[in-house]
A and B are shown apart, each in its own frame.
Chain A
Amino acid sequence: ETGVTQSPTHLIKTRGQQVTLRCSSQSGHNTVSWYQQALGQGPQFIFQYYREEENGRGNFPPRFSGLQFPNYSSELNVNALELDDSALYLCASSLGGVGNQPQHFGDGTRLSIL
């Protein structure tokens, strides 16, 4: 069973640029959630995708957007990068629609904004 994989592992961008982060969900999972974790803090929920549709969103501006593909992999896009966007971005997959199922996380993408 392949776990959740994220790419790239590290990324450096400058203010104003755009970035795309990728996530492959665990085999058999149809739901992907994205989280942002600032240094020293717990992860914060950005949004979730279930069967290619957005299924909940946290308190993040519209410049944070996402996609889920038919194979249930997902992308997180961030436009007009700001210094405060520097963080670890985590993807988690789960099996939605069958009751309470745990989310399984990848090891994240470390994004640094200069």
Chain B
Amino acid sequence: DAKTTQPTSMDCAEGRAANLPCNHSTISGNEYVYWYRQIHSQGPQYIIHGLKNNETNEMASLIITEDRKSSTLILPHATLRDTAVYYCIAEGLNQGGKLIFGQGTELSVKP
């Protein structure tokens, strides 16, 4: 299982883009990069996932480097409600659906 490394905490001004980095230098070819976030007292919320190509949905964009050793989650216009812990996870088809959560990045969006 590939290990991911994220900064412990980040701040972002409301209305600006939040760029959350993740390193996964040991990722294997069949492992996807998943992003979840957890707002206090709630369960983790799925945001986006990808394998090689950049992905975008209504919540965020995911940029994966060509060598797949790192990725960035982009929240284009952060709001106060985006304050949460963000988890980057590498998960493959051979892992039996086991998501391995690290400590994540605590994002604080400030007015």
Contacts and interface: CB of A to CB of B under 8 A. Distances in A.
A45 B93 contact: no
A108 B43 contact: yes
A100 interface: yes
Interface hub of B44, B49, B95 (most chain A Cβ within 10 A)? B44
B42 to A, nearest CB: 5
B100 A45 contact: yes
Interface stretch (B60-68, B74-82, B101-109): B101-109
Contact of A44 (B34, B36, B101, B104): B101
Main DSSP-derived SS at the B contact region: loop
Interface string B45-72: 1100101000000000000000000000
A31 interface: yes
Nearest to A48: B97
Contacts of B104: 42
B44 A43 contact: yes
A94 interface: yes
A94 B32 CA distance: 15
Interface residues of A, number: 27
B60 to A, nearest CB: 13
Given A42-B102, A42-B103, A42-B104, A103 B97 contact: yes
Given A42-B102, A100-B32, A102-B34, A90 B43 contact: yes
A43 B102 CA distance: 8
- Pick the 8 closest A-B CB pairs, nearest first: A56-B96, A42-B101, A105-B43, A102-B46, A45-B98, A107-B43, A48-B97, A105-B44
Interface of A: 4, 31, 33, 35, 41-45, 48, 50, 55-56, 58, 90, 92, 94, 96, 99-100, 102-108
Interface of B: 32, 34, 36, 41-46, 49, 51, 87, 91, 93, 95-104
